[in-house]
Structure 1
Amino acid sequence: MGLNEAPLLFQFEVASSENLAFIPMAVRFNLDRFGLRISLAQWQLLPYEDRRLLARFPVDDDTQIEPNFDHALFEMLRTHANVEPEWFSPDESPAWRDAATVPEGVARQAALAGLAAPAAAQWAQLAPFQRYVLAKLSRKPEANHDFVPAMREFGLAAPR
C-alpha cells in the first residue's frame, strides 16, 4: 500500500490542521500503532513538506503494510530537530478495535456533549480508523472540542 495523494484530514480537522500546525489524526494513529510519541513542539520543528508527507501515510492497523512511517519520522526529527521520538509499548487490544462494544470513554464524551452514545450497531459500522478517532478524542475526562464535529462527520449526531 502506498502513500495517499494528499494528507488525510477529516473535515473537523481542516480548520486546525490544514496548515499542519497541529498533529492530524492520521499521524496520531501511526504514532500510536508504532509506539512513538512526539510533542507538538517537535512536530512543529519539522518543515511543512515533511509534516505533509507523514500525514499521507496509510491508516491501516497492520504495521507490515507500510513499515516506513517510523523510519521516516526518525530521520526527519534527527535532521530538523536533532531529537528522536519517545518509544512506548502500543496497546495490544485497544478498545476501538472491538467493533461490538462502544468504549466507556466514547459514551462519557457523548454524555459531556449532550449527545447519545453511538449504538452498538452504529459503532460496528464505523471504519476502524473512525473508531480510533472517537476513542482518541475521548481519552481524557473533560470535553474535547473536536468530539461533536467528529460525531457529526461520522453520521452519529445530527448536523447543526
Structure 2
Amino acid sequence: MALTETPLLFEFEVVSSEDLTFIPMCVRFNLDRFGLRISLAQWQLLPYEDRRLLARFPVDDDTEIEPNFDHALFEMLRTHANVEPEWFAPEEAPAWRNVSAVPGGVANQAGLADLRTPDIEDWAQLAPFQRYVLAKLARKPEANHDFVPAMREFGLAVPRNAAR
C-alpha cells in the first residue's frame, strides 16, 4: 500500500499531534503492529519531516502489505538519535480485533466518562483502526483525556442513561 498524502490524524488528535510533537495513533498502531517501542523523547529527536513520513504509513493490520515502516524507523533513529527502537512480541490476538466482545478497558473508560459502553454491533461496525484506538486509549484504569473525544468522533459518545 502507498503512503497517504498527509499524516493520518483523527480530529481528537489534531490539537495534541498536529505538529507531531506527540506520537499520533497511526504511528502507535504501526509500532504495535511491528512490535517496536520508542520513547516520546526518541520520537521528538526525529526531524519533523521524518515524523511526518512515519505518520503517513498505512494503518492496515497486515504487516506483509507495508513492511517498510520498521525499516524507515530504524534508519531514522540511527541517523538522528543514534538509538534503535526496543523490540517486543506483538500480541497474537489483541482485544480490538475481536468483533464479538467489547474489551473490558473500553467498558471501564466508558463508565468513567459516564458513557454507555458500545454494544457488540456498534463495536463490530467500527473500522479495525478505530477499535485499536479505543482499546489503546482504554488500556490504563484511570480516565484518558482522549477517550471521550474519540468516542464522540466515532459516533459512540452516548450518555449512560440515554434511551436507546
TM class by shorter chain equals: over 0.9
Shift of 1:100: 1.3
Q: Does 1:15 align with 2:15?
A: yes
Q: Residue in 2 aligned with 1:75? A: 75
Going from structure 1 to structure 2, the CA distance change for 1:134 and 1:101 (only over 3 Å counts) comes to same
CA offsets 1:63-94 (integer angstroms, 9 cap, x no match): 00000000000000000000000000000000
Q: Residue in 2 aligned with 1:29? A: 29
Q: Does 1:152 align with 2:152?
A: yes
CA offsets 1:95-136 (integer angstroms, 9 cap, x no match): 000011100000001001110110110000000000000000
User: Quick one: distance in 1 between partners of 2:99 and 2:17?
Assistant: 28
Match of 1:105, SS state, is helix
Q: CA RMSD in A?
A: 0.9
The runs of 4+ residues in structure 1 deviating greater than 3 Å are none
Over the matched positions of the two proteins, sequence identity in percent amounts to 82
Q: Residue in 1 aligned with 2:100? A: 100
Q: Calculate the TM-score normalised by the size of structure 2.
A: 0.96
Q: Residue in 1 aligned with 2:58? A: 58
Unaligned runs of 5+ in 1: none
User: Quick one: distance in 2 between partners of 1:103 and 1:64?
Assistant: 26
Unaligned runs of 5+ in 2: 160-164
Q: Calculate the TM-score normalised by the size of structure 1.
A: 0.98
Matching residue's letter, 1:69: F
Matching residue's letter, 2:17: S
User: Quick one: distance in 1 between partners of 2:100 and 2:30?
Assistant: 23
